Chain A
């Protein structure tokens, strides 16, 4: 697919998402909201996995830290302020990414996968085993944050449709931001690092700093998704930091197609919707109970037969380029 055609397809998809609340029931509105938040999560991981060549299995740490930041900053019976809590959540994630990133980026390959996992597990146990975040029960967020401008409520986040709009706007913003970033000299340097780090270093690029910057940006963006998820469901518990969550978002990125931002969005939709469809009792009756089996088989088939993930489905075969994209 050339750039122009893919842009048209993308604009059409976004338009469809924007019009969706007119048609969808409450259940599907909530479902799509959840998926779009996950899509932000998956895109932030794609920046690391697909563009920088850093496979992280600890990305859920950022998701959870952002959620807990919102929960801890929310006054019990009053609304928190979105303009302060969202940046605070992103800043907390960026700080965690800066500190752990400086350590984990000393390793590479599968060791990197495991050290990111180790730090995420430590964060998990901090929330699970200490009283800081309510232990294994987690914390409820009783009142949704407010989004006001000059005294007027911009979007009422308690309203399903308006919250949907916010998530859609943020997903689009993150997509456009990442696309811009990846097209910039900074993004080209990341692609260079992915292809051949040593050569980039000998060309004079401080590759460690580039990777750390990418890690911090990815962490902060993942924070947006964790914040939105905590806001939507009204509670946080340690499970949002668990390695299962890190695993699922990684599967979204691989399933959708690594190194294509829209692939991450497709992967998020595919994985969640697939589960919804396969577990639909009205369609599959008794067999719906065993949706995991069908899902597992489908994932196996994608791994075997779609070498570039779902995003590669509509694309014409391309010659392998230097950076593999």
Chain B
């Protein structure tokens, strides 16, 4: 394996890992703070991708589509939390699992009714649609680099939000002791609404970013859901930084697994997860 080939794999691994981080960070926040096992998280990723595709056709620009799409996913998150999830906080986690399983069916069917079951390609914005040449016959698409950069910016913004704002303080406090936070006069319900909407928007945004790279297809939600759960669990539930580290680990393991041992590449991710959990039963970055 020569250097440039290796470099491309590393870039791919990082890019895939950072994308997983966007999905998994929302999942881990929603579970860590609200205690909800959200099976519908993959559906939000899928909805994001389909929104990007269809809005890009209306507006003629992927950037405008993403801006509009983010607003819509935030609205969806707020609506779902207010109408459905709010009533289940006090119940057994498994009823939330049942609820979110029902939501998967609903979103899948709505997607099929609105947009059909076809695979669609999404064009990369013209400004970013070029490749950086590495050697005579190897080059790297710039859009993927831009994607990684955007993901890193979001990770940084999340860090600022959680560590250095009043809202972040409430989120951290809510995660460690819900009753105490309430007793101190903080509106924990509002925090829940914000966290849920944030999680939905992050998953949707990840789908929008990924649309030009992975194309848009019906089963994309289910695929990303399971792998994001793997990331969340390896990282340690509720830990955003754990999710970042685990996402990069899984991104690398998956990318290099496909290159080095293609026969068993699909199982590698799960092998890594089983190994990590047997070594540290509560993830790498237990809170």
| A interface residues, Cβ below 8 angstroms from B | 49, 55, 103, 106-108, 110-111, 113-115, 117-119, 121-122, 125-126, 128-130, 243-244, 247, 250-251, 254-255, 258, 290, 292-293, 295-300, 302-304, 307
Contact = CB atoms under 8 A, between A and B. Distances in A.
A296 B113 CA distance: 14
Interface string B96-111: 1111011111111110
B233 A114 contact: yes
A186 B3 CA distance: 61
B277 A111 contact: yes
Given A293-B110, A300-B99, 20 more contacts: A106-B281, A107-B277, A110-B233, A118-B270, A118-B274, A122-B267, A125-B266, A125-B270, A126-B267, A129-B264, A129-B266, A258-B92, A258-B94, A292-B108, A295-B102, A296-B105, A297-B102, A300-B103, A302-B102, A303-B99
Contact of A125 (B95, B264, B277): B264
Given A107-B277, A117-B226, A247-B101, A300 B267 contact: no
Contacts of B267: 121-122, 125-126, 129
Given A255-B98, A292-B108, A114 B281 contact: no
Contact of B98 (A111, A254, A297): A254
Contacts of A298: 102
A126 B96 CA distance: 32
Contacts of B96: 303
A49 B101 contact: no
Contacts of A299: 98-99, 101-102, 105
Contacts of A293: 105-106, 109-110, 113
Interface of B: 31, 37, 39, 84, 87-88, 91-99, 101-110, 112-113, 222, 226, 229-230, 233, 237, 263-264, 266-267, 270-271, 273-274, 277-278, 281-283
Nearest to A120: B270
23 contacts: A103-B278, A106-B281, A110-B37, A110-B93, A114-B229, A114-B233, A115-B274, A121-B270, A122-B271, A125-B266, A243-B226, A247-B101, A251-B98, A258-B94, A290-B112, A292-B109, A296-B102, A299-B99, A299-B102, A303-B98, A303-B99, A304-B87, A304-B88
Q: By DSSP majority rule, is chain B's interface helix, strand, loop, or mixed?
A: helix
Contact of A304 (B99, B107, B230): B99
Contacts of B39: 247
Nearest to B91: A307
A171 to B, nearest CB: 24
Contacts of A118: 230, 270, 273-274, 277
B109 A254 contact: no
A300 B109 contact: no
B88 A111 contact: no
B109 A103 contact: no
A293 B95 CA distance: 19
Given A114-B233, A298-B102, A303 B274 contact: no
A268 B130 CA distance: 53
B24 to A, nearest CB: 12
A251 B104 CA distance: 13
B33 to A, nearest CB: 14
Contacts of B98: 251, 254-255, 299, 302-303
A53 to B, nearest CB: 11
Ranked 4 nearest A-B pairs via Cβ: A296-B105, A299-B102, A296-B106, A303-B99
B113 A290 contact: yes
Contacts of B112: 290, 292
A234 B271 CA distance: 31
Contact of A292 (B37, B92, B105, B229): B105
Contacts of A296: 102-109
A64 to B, nearest CB: 15
Contacts of B108: 292, 296
